A = this chain, B = another copy of it.
Amino acid sequence: MTGVARAGRETDLGTLPTVRRPTLRDVAERAGVHPATASRALNPHTRELVNDETAKRVIRAARSLGYRPNPIARSLKTSRSASIGVVIPDLTNPLFPPIVRGVEDELGPAGYNAWIVNTDNDPEREGAQVESLRSRQVEGLIVAAARRSHPLLEDFAAEGMPMVLVNRRLDRTDVPAVTADDATGVAVAVRHLVELGHRRIAHLAGPQDTSTGLVRLRAYHQALRDHGLPDDPGLVATCDSWTLAEGARALALLLDRGARFTAVLAGNDLLALGCYDALEERGLSCPEAVSVVGFNDIPFVDRVRPPLTTVRIPHYQIGVEAARMLLEALRDPDRHPRSVLLPVSLVVRQSTAAPPGPRDGRGSPSLRPATV
């Protein structure tokens, strides 16, 4: 009688043509076994518990019915979800999509899928989003929105939620992070400027509640010392957010203060683009009057005017690496958390040139490298 197993199921004739998706029970019925057996037969991990012959029968039944397990029911039962949350502070920042893609590419083949949320840099929204992730039983978190002190994330980590930070890290070091080697990046950038002849280099520091903001600022001071350059506090302006508008505001502030500098190291590319605006507004040309260096090498900064000299970080690879680490942590929860620093490189474009001015006789504004 199992041949017409579906008959008992056709009682819902009141519903629309939409056919109910087959459940495990349907599969079991068709294969003539108990749902429990069907479950075990379908799960590669428990297949050994059921007779080979029966397993094949179940699998065939499942295929013929087009059975797809219901992840919701499974989650409810197992408290797991085969998905991990990806917390992005701002999707419209071109830095993040490539990272997300790296995460997805690595997670997919492992059977996990990524659950992307956008916090908009808003703590309240972040709280809601992350809570939503948690209640959906995500098995881990990849977070690009960390601040140095971040109670929410710290609590989560303390509760044992597997977590990997990307791009930014926490002050406490017990949460693994995948970041670019910011300090080296800054050092290289400053060296580049020094080699061009700059001695008064300003810095647009990013928000100091983010590790990137702090680390880059410190590295800037260190680099200045290393090169024996004057470390004038008046050459630093701190931005409240990683946005173009803040970059413009901060550089304008520096300019208004009468700070004298021939180059500015921006905390990231967006701030650097803000510098362009502030400079243009005052009729200062880049790189003739002021050289600008960015950080991150986000998409399109190679095509802006002038093409931005910046520190390239491996966006995609950061995502890949973070996903990989999270997967390892899921497989072996006792594994010691380690953080990794990915290598960076300076990509010199046209926003940097020798400083203007009387220092050397060649002070012409047209020192732009002839290459390109």
Q: Closest B-chain residue to A304, C-beta based?
A: B303
Choose among B16, B81, B160 the residue that contacts A18 (Cβ–Cβ < 8 A). B160
A115/B118 in contact, CB under 8 A: no
A106 to B185, CA, bound (A): 40
Q: Can you give 6 A-B contacts (C-beta < 8 A)?
A: A72-B136, A92-B98, A94-B94, A101-B120, A273-B303, A303-B305
What is the interface of chain A, defined by CB distance below 8 A to chain B? 16, 18, 68-73, 75-76, 81, 91-92, 94, 97-98, 100-101, 104, 108, 113, 115-118, 120, 125, 129, 131-132, 135-137, 159-160, 273, 276, 299-300, 303-307
A166 to B115, CA, bound (A): 21
A115 to B69, CA, bound (A): 20
Choose among B69, B137, B276, B299 the residue that contacts A72 (Cβ–Cβ < 8 A). B137
B68/A131 in contact, CB under 8 A: yes
Choose among B76, B104, B300 the residue that contacts A304 (Cβ–Cβ < 8 A). B300
B135/A70 in contact, CB under 8 A: yes
Q: Closest B-chain residue to A133, C-beta based?
A: B113
For residue A119, give the distance in angstroms from its CB to the closest CB of chain B.
11
Q: Closest B-chain residue to A306, C-beta based?
A: B305
Chain B residue contacts of A91, Cβ below 8 A: 91, 97, 100-101
A131 to B98, CA, bound (A): 24
A73-B76, A94-B94 known; 8 other A-B pairs, CB under 8 Å? Answer: A69-B135, A72-B76, A91-B100, A92-B94, A92-B299, A113-B117, A303-B304, A304-B305
Q: Closest B-chain residue to A244, C-beta based?
A: B303
B75/A72 in contact, CB under 8 A: yes
Chain B residue contacts of A104, Cβ below 8 A: 118
Choose among B18, B71, B118, B273 the residue that contacts A135 (Cβ–Cβ < 8 A). B71
Chain B residue contacts of A137, Cβ below 8 A: 72
A159 to B17, CA, bound (A): 8
B113/A132 in contact, CB under 8 A: yes
Choose among B70, B98, B160, B305 the residue that contacts A305 (Cβ–Cβ < 8 A). B305
Q: Closest B-chain residue to A131, C-beta based?
A: B68
